[in-house]
Amino acid sequence: MSLVEFWDYLVLGVVLGSIYAVIAIGYTLVYGVLQLINFAHSEVFMLGAYGGLIALTVVAPGNAPSGLASVGYVVLGLAAGAAFGALTAYGLEKVAYRPLRRRGSPRLIFLITAIGASFFLYNLAGKLFGRDPLPMPEAYENKKVLTVFGADLNVTQLLLLASAVVMMVGLDMVVNRTKLGSGIRAVSQDAEVAGLMGVDIDKVVSRTFVIGGLLGGAAGFLYGTFTQVKFDMGFIPGITAFAAAVVGGIGNIRGAMLGGLMLGIVETLTVPAFGGEWRHVGAFVVLIAVLMFRPTGILGERVGRTA
Amino acid sequence: MLNKNIVKLGIPLAVGALALTGCANDSGSSGDTVKIAFQGPLSGDNVALGQNMERGIQLAIEQANAKGDLGVKLEYFPVDDQGLPEKATAAAQKAIDDTDVVALVGPAFSGATNSAAPLLGDAGLTAISPSATNPGLTEQGFKTFLRGVPNDNAQGAGMADYYAKKLKAKKVYLLDDKSDYGVGLAQVANDKLTAAGVEVVKKSVPAKTPDYSATAKDVVNSKADALIYAGYYQDAAPFAKKLAEAGYKGAAISGDGTNDMKFVELAGDASENWFLTCPCTDATVEASTKQFTEDYKKKFNVAPGTYSAEAYDLTNYVIQEVKRLGDKADRASIYDALAKGSYKGLTKEFSFDGKGELKISNIYLYQVKGGKIAYQGSIQELAGS
């Protein structure tokens, strides 16, 4: 592999990794406040992709627009994806998790419910939208924009990177600078005491799900433009993002971003080094290696403290 | 005591009665109805392919009934295996249990055939498949399996021939999807290309990998001037897209798993100029299938798809033998007649070797042009071999 080729793959890895990072935030946030792995988050992601697809198909069937119109389409797709994701996540919390929380069910029950909800949602999507993949309508012409160290970057890749960065910075600010953010941090540190101090726990939990859903849904739309939309598209990115959250330190938002980027880069670099069949092996070897030396992940659990 | 006597008498009587009714049904054609079964995906992920064949079969049966020179009434008997090996045995059993069924067209998929064919063999029920192309199927001594389509050996060889002889490729990047179908196809192409002195880079990426960016870069960086993708359209489409983005300019070819308009829809402009092979002819183009295409469109309001005409042909072959055998038509005699006889269908001449393999092995080439899959003709002729 020459140096230029290495840059090629690194850029691809950063692009893929930034999507994983945005999805991983959804896992980490929910884990932070509820100590629950929301395995249905991959379906939030998938439904976000369908949301973007539906919005674009309704508004803009036909050919790729250019200029300002395509910016509008991208924003519309992102908004629709985020809205679908948020709705799904909100519904999930209301229907699947809140009743269990009321009854004080053990953690294992939450986990099983999460997996059940995931199966239900993706089969529902298969029934509603068909089991064949669908192409995302083109919101712009995917041209080469710039070259970094000999590696080409096209519109989709730049869009992915930019949106991911905006989302991550925005979230970081929400969590660290707003009242809602301090609520989230308080509940994740000690839900009982936070409740006694007057924090409305139900509200905080439900908003946390909505934030995770917004990000996951938008990531779903971006991923759809990057590949295609399918009812079972959530599974692999979902599992990888979950691993990313664990690598970074589950419950830790910046850890999730770091873990996502890392897994994306490792996965991509595995392809030229060992071949495409090893890509997930590479990523999961990193997961195991990190957990052997730092069982709490690279940055450890710290969603509760100010970053 | 009395009860025991009743039981002693009753059992032989009941068994005898069952045996008698069984006999009556077994002779099949002596009754009024003869059923032809179809086994394939009639629900689930790949239902479109199953429907293509089902409609061909239904059309053949309807036309034969309309002619009215058979002496019996033909009936269509669908059994659904969703294309899945684990559902195939239960589906086949349904066809076996109905003694009016004299032959089964299918199973449609290689994996499903592998698990259902032993069962069908033991029951003596013919399984004549219009689409199961895994080369290994005829090597396993299934008692009643006939393959009405050239296998993947022919397809892989066709691709290799076309690249080596017609396009004079120097270096071919060969990617399979790790499925039974993809790996088999890639292996044959690999062997043939190497034998022809073409350099081959052989790689695998498992199906359902959503991100092909790195693999596409790998293709470009390998400096290959031609590419073979051995897999299905669900993966070929995103791969084609990423290839175009990565700036790949060489030739690209894929097999019957990709030969579907869905591939073009999903990949968009990136699919332009892709070559696709298939052991199937294009019923909408060939002169011999013009009438069939018209009838098909009239009945179902859609054009025939991949393997529709082949399924139609095979059903007509079964009907021909049912007619010829008349009163003597049962499962065993029909299998014998099909295996040893021959039939000139719309798509090709059907006759089988000792293993149940189709004797001729024509592969046809298609190319994506202007957003359509355009029929090019026989690959052997195009490659000049």
CATH of the domain at A286: 1.10.3470
pLDDT of residue B26: 43
As a whole number of angstroms, the distance between CA B79 and CA B97 comes to 12
Reply yes or no on whether the pLDDT at B191 is more than 90: yes
Conformation bin of residue A85: beta by default, left when phi > 0, alpha when psi is -120 to 50: alpha
Chain B residue with minimum CA distance to A233: B210
CB contact under 8 A, A230 and B234: yes
Count Cβ neighbours within 10 Å for each residue of B267-288 and write b for 16 or more, e otherwise.
bbebbeebbbbbbbbbbbebee
**Is A123 near chain B, with CB under 8 Å?**
no
Q: Is residue A137 part of a domain?
A: no
**Is B213 near chain A, with CB under 8 Å?**
yes
Facing B211 at nearest CB: one of A9, A138, A227: A227
Q: What percent of chain B has pLDDT over 70?
A: 92
Interface of A with B in 286-305 (CB under 8 A): none
Q: Is the dihedral of CA B185, B187, B192, B198 positive or negative?
A: positive
Residue B22: pLDDT band with limits 50, 70, 90? very low
CB contact under 8 A, B211 and A16: yes
Q: What percent of chain B has pLDDT over 90?
A: 67
Reply yes or no on whether the pLDDT at B82 is more than 70: yes
pLDDT of residue A304: 46
Retrieve residue A81's tokens: 């994806």
Domain residue limits at A56: 3-131+143-305
* Contacts (Cβ under 8 Å, ≥6 apart) of B231: B175, B176, B177, B179, B181, B182, B207, B254, B257, B258
**Measured between beta carbons, which residues in chain A are less than 8 angstroms from residue B258?**
none
Q: Is residue A292 part of a domain?
A: yes
Q: Is residue A162 part of a domain?
A: yes
Whether A263 contacts A42, CB under 8 Å: no
Chain A residue with minimum CA distance to B177: A277
Quick one: average pLDDT of B1-16? 53
A147 beta partners:
A152
**Measured between beta carbons, which residues in chain A are less than 8 angstroms from residue B206?**
276-277
**Measured between beta carbons, which residues in chain A are less than 8 angstroms from residue B204?**
275-277
Residue B305: pLDDT band with limits 50, 70, 90? confident
pLDDT of residue A190: 87
Chain A residue with minimum CA distance to B211: A227
Q: Is residue A138 part of a domain?
A: no
Assign B265 to helix, strand or coil.
Answer: helix
CB contact under 8 A, B262 and A272: no
Tokens 């299934």 belong to residue: B142
Helix pair A68-92, A201-226: axis angle to 10 deg: 140
Reply yes or no on whether the pLDDT at B352 is more than 60: yes
**Is B203 near chain A, with CB under 8 Å?**
yes
Q: Is residue A82 part of a domain?
A: yes
Q: Which of B49, B173, B209, B211 to mutate to test the interface with A (most CBs of A within 10 A)?
A: B211
Q: Where are the beta strands (DSSP E) in chain B?
A: 33-40, 73-80, 101-105, 126-129, 145-147, 171-176, 199-204, 226-230, 251-254, 275-278, 342-344, 349-351, 364-369, 372-378
Burial of A183 (0-12, 13-18, 19+ CB in 10 A): buried
pLDDT of residue B83: 86
**Measured between beta carbons, which residues in chain A are less than 8 angstroms from residue B235?**
none
**Is B223 near chain A, with CB under 8 Å?**
no
pLDDT of residue B128: 96
Q: Is residue A299 part of a domain?
A: yes
CB contact under 8 A, B213 and A142: no
Residue A116: CB atoms within 10 A of its CB come to 13
Residue B31: pLDDT band with limits 50, 70, 90? low
**Is A132 near chain B, with CB under 8 Å?**
yes
Reply yes or no on whether the pLDDT at A182 is more than 50: yes
Residue A4: pLDDT band with limits 50, 70, 90? confident
pLDDT of residue A64: 64
pLDDT of residue B310: 93
Q: Is the dihedral of CA B116, B118, B124, B126 positive or negative?
A: positive
As a whole number of angstroms, the distance between CA B200 and CA B192 comes to 10
As a whole number of angstroms, the distance between CA B266 and CA B241 comes to 9
Chain B residue with minimum CA distance to A145: B245
Tokens 């509603």 belong to residue: A128
Whether A253 contacts A28, CB under 8 Å: yes
Q: Is residue A61 part of a domain?
A: yes
- B65-75: pLDDT as tens digits: 999 888 899 99
Chain B residue with minimum CA distance to A274: B203
Using CA atoms of A71, A75, A80, A81 in order, give the dihedral in degrees to the nearest 10: 100
Assign B347 to helix, strand or coil.
Answer: coil
- A113-151: pLDDT as tens digits: 999 999 999 999 999 998 888 998 888 888 888 887 778
Interface of A with B in 220-239 (CB under 8 A): 223, 226-228, 230, 232-233, 236-237
pLDDT of residue A63: 61
**Is A272 near chain B, with CB under 8 Å?**
yes
**Is A206 near chain B, with CB under 8 Å?**
no
CB contact under 8 A, B205 and A277: yes
pLDDT of residue A306: 40
- B270-288: pLDDT as tens digits: 999 999 999 988 888 888 8
pLDDT of residue A62: 64
Q: What's chain B's average pLDDT?
A: 89
Quick one: average pLDDT of A65-84? 88
Q: What percent of chain A has pLDDT over 90?
A: 64
What is the tally of structural domains in chain A?
Answer: 1
CB contact under 8 A, A8 and B221: yes
**Is A268 near chain B, with CB under 8 Å?**
yes
Facing A227 at nearest CB: one of B210, B214, B221: B210
Whether B286 contacts B278, CB under 8 Å: no
pLDDT of residue A301: 62
Reply yes or no on whether the pLDDT at B37 is more than 80: yes
CB contact under 8 A, A277 and B208: no
Q: What's chain A's average pLDDT?
A: 90
SS3 letters across chain A: CCHHHHHHHHHHHHHHHHHHHHHHHHHHHHHHHHCCCCCCHHHHHHHHHHHHHHHHHHHCCCCCCCCHHHHHHHHHHHHHHHHHHHHHHHHHHHHHHHHHHHHCCCHHHHHHHHHHHHHHHHHHHHHHHCCCCECCCCCCCCCEEEEECCEEEEHHHHHHHHHHHHHHHHHHHHHHHCHHHHHHHHHHHCHHHHHHCCCCHHHHHHHHHHHHHHHHHHHHHHHHHHCCECCCCCHHHHHHHHHHHHHHCCCCHHHHHHHHHHHHHHHHHHHHHHCHHHHHHHHHHHHHHHHHHCCCCCCCCCCCCCC
pLDDT of residue A148: 79
Reply yes or no on whether the pLDDT at B24 is more than 70: no
Q: Is residue A136 part of a domain?
A: no
Q: Which domains does chain B have, with CATH numbers?
A: 6-150+284-350 (3.40.50.2300), 152-278+363-383 (3.40.50.2300)
**Measured between beta carbons, which residues in chain B are less than 8 angstroms from residue A154?**
245
Work out whether strand B364-369 and strand B372-378 pair parallel, antiparallel, or are unpaired: antiparallel
Distance from CA of A65 to the nearest CA of B (A): 15
**Measured between beta carbons, which residues in chain B are less than 8 angstroms from residue A16?**
211, 213
Q: Measured in whole angstroms, how far is the alpha carbon of residue B9 from the centre of its chain?
A: 51
Q: Which of A158, A227, A232 to mutate to test the interface with B (most CBs of B within 10 A)?
A: A227
Quickly list DSSP for B194-253. Answer: HHTT-EEEEEE--TT----HHHHHHHHHTT-SEEEEES-HHHHHHHHHHHHHHT--SEEE
Distance from CA of A211 to the nearest CA of B (A): 25
Reply yes or no on whether the pLDDT at A173 is more than 80: yes
